[in-house]
Amino acid sequence: MPQVELSSGTIAYEDTGGDGPVLVFLHGVLMDHTVWRKVVPDLRGTHRCVLPTLPLGSHRTPMRPDADLSLRGQALLVGEFLDRLDLREVTLVLNDWGGAQLLLAEGRTARIARLALVACEAFDNYPPGRPGRSLVRAASIPGGLALLMRLLRLRPVRRAPNGWGAMTEHPIPDEITDAWFRPARTDPGVRRDLAKYLTSTPPRRQLLQWSEQMRAFEGPVLVAWATRDRLMPREHGPRLAELFPRGRLAEIEGSRTLVPEDRPDELVRLLQDFLHTTRTTGTHDSAVASGHEKTPGHGE
């Protein structure tokens, strides 16, 4: 994998290359770019897909000891990544982890043309649900993360309904989760980075203030929300779509949080439609769909 040196350390990334519009795909905590492995193949022919592995616990190279890996720090790291690769007119695609939304609150949007929020953290839902709170508790206890990562070698633990089992309708293949969990299990530096992030969640008041500041973003925003999600409240979907002047909402049936795992076909369709309509018309529409997004002009 190619790598880029940023102020906080080395970031590895995948890049399909090409001259098409740029999509930057971001992943969640204790995951890497492979969460998008079912989505990218259908887009790479017409789009340049860039997939960084952020320092959220599945990265292979620890960050510098003094790196700011807080929620805001991670968001700014995404912005720095876009700058270093000189990526322009980017469509930023988020799933599970929602921290990169803070770039909008910071006004760091010169390189961001569109945003796709796919069943991700929003408003004050940091960290999300019982799995998120369990990670924070583990990170707050000396040796807690090391113990948790050892336990995650066991299939019943990783598929527990109050953990990763809550994130998909069907189990994620063991070879994928093995690769996700291995860095934090084997490298103390990676665990240190993960703990820095997990124990730095700002107070609710700050999170909500940042959310309000995001209203200033005037680009098109697709909010793709999973109807069976156990971590991201269903009401956050419409609320996010209404937050943005050019927001549109699509609800996806048959999926939990990791839509790229459960419904990659529907997600690809929604992304392609979103990219096509915003590129050719640039019009504002807000639609609610149940598995199929309504097109502009077809009513409520």
The predicted pLDDT at position 148 comes to 94
- 15 DSSP β-pair partners: 50
The predicted pLDDT at position 291 comes to 36
The predicted pLDDT at position 129 comes to 85
The predicted pLDDT at position 300 comes to 31
How far is the C-alpha of 193 from the C-alpha of 62, rounded, in Å? 7
The predicted pLDDT at position 290 comes to 33
The predicted pLDDT at position 261 comes to 98
Report residue 110 as tokens: 């010169």
The predicted pLDDT at position 77 comes to 98
The predicted pLDDT at position 287 comes to 36
Mean pLDDT by runs of 10 across the 300 residues of the chain is: 97 95 97 98 95 98 98 98 98 98 96 98 94 92 95 90 88 95 98 97 96 97 97 97 97 97 98 88 36 33
